Structure 1
């Protein structure tokens, strides 16, 4: 029965294509939307997306060392382009799937004001960020602090997560009073899910343009190509927008 469902779903895209699996490396900030997209993708196509979440820089190192990923959803545009140049990605498959937003967030209601002045007040002990060397959201956080002229002041209070998921965990558990996280981690359908936050104006850091690319190991896998195409569908775009991405 499953084989029949797979065939019927696939006929709309590629005749005689069968259901398969695709190994997907996903930037941590995109965890929640990608989990939802993967569910809809399986329902609509019969293909299964096997997801791994982490820092984009870490995924680059793993792919360079032969990791079996077939599709990369990065938190930046530089990493997929670099993989293309190094012949580790299928040419012509790179595209922007989301533009991320940075938010200064606290799990405590009312702690972060609407203009982010809490940063200058010094009324906190710890400020969480992701590793700026491997996580684009961490780099955007550092750029924001530098543009505000506050980096040197708050540097002793910084606690650094390996990726944006760990930075969010520091704040969510109260180990840091506030932190720079991805808006998608604390936002659903037009509002914060908890706590208080200041959405960082885009002028304070470089655009967080997030690109996807089919990797070399996935260029012969119909499921990898199907998922890349699905990410451009109206259904996937609606899910992405609901988490606060442009």
Structure 2
């Protein structure tokens, strides 16, 4: 009887050892351009750690205002480096937690296979009824689009044809639904595993706009949440990096 009892205790102990630590939940504000890769990362993160990342997607500028006004976010993945730096300066973050998790690329894209040429010459000809762009005041990818047009000297050609999205996700929808024949979107929205997934595109060279360095930061509300610190650590790991690169981001 004692042998059976000892085996049962040993089995129970093995089960306890194999169980993951108590799972927690983390509230994450994510820049809209990073929607697809972050959904994939969150799923793998939960599988590997047991923690759940509750994701909210939107424009970096709007998240900044919400965080200032007490929104319950614990981790912030911005579309730039300036906004998290502002939160650092306002002491709304955990000091030393900020880092660049991805380097973004902007692309001129159309769902029409033949509309956008490989050199983006359509921007110079103005041969389209509308051009979609994210709000440059709140969305870094929108600001990159504006800088690109200014660099090419075509701003006046398009100023009466612009269709402005609240964020890069809405901007993509304008083009994907045909409400705008082309637009500046994030490469990650139309790229997977080394190729443009549909339509035609010009990948805008970085020389036409400021670098899009996307920073992540631990907010003060997440200071004591193990899932928040675990997620930021996970973003620096090989599995997350593989997903990030597969969507066309640099590291």
Q: TM-score band, normalised by the shorter chain?
A: over 0.9
TM-score by length of 1: 0.94
Q: For residue 7 of structure 1, report the CA deviation from its aligned partner.
A: 7.6
For residues 232 and 151 of structure 2, the distance between their equivalents in structure 1, rounded to whole angstroms, comes to: 36
Structure 1 SS opposite 2:159: helix
Q: Does 1:94 align with 2:118?
A: no
- For 1:194, the equivalent position in structure 2 comes to 198
Q: For residue 8 of structure 1, report the CA deviation from its aligned partner.
A: 4.0
- For 2:8, the equivalent position in structure 1 comes to none
Over aligned residue pairs, what C-alpha RMSD do you find? 1.3
Unaligned runs of 5+ in 2: 1-14
Q: Does 1:163 align with 2:189?
A: no
- For 2:148, the equivalent position in structure 1 comes to 144
What per-residue deviation string (whole Å, max 9, x for no partner) do you get for residues 39-94 of structure 1? 00000000000000000000000000000000000000001111011011110000
For residues 154 and 40 of structure 1, the distance between their equivalents in structure 2, rounded to whole angstroms, comes to: 42
Pick closer, same or farther for the CA change 1:125–1:41 going to 2, 3 Å. same
Map 1:1-246 onto structure 2 (within 5 A): 8-10=19-21, 18-246=22-250
Look at both structures and tell me which one has the larger radius of gyration over its CA atoms: 2
Structure 2 SS opposite 1:165: helix
For residues 42 and 17 of structure 2, the distance between their equivalents in structure 1, rounded to whole angstroms, comes to: 15
After the TM superposition, which segments of 4 or more aligned residues of structure 1 sit over 2 Å from their partners?
4-10
TM-score by length of 2: 0.92
For residues 235 and 159 of structure 2, the distance between their equivalents in structure 1, rounded to whole angstroms, comes to: 38
Are the aligned partners of 1:6 and 1:45 in contact in 2 as well (CA < 8 Å)?
no
Pick closer, same or farther for the CA change 1:41–1:120 going to 2, 3 Å. same
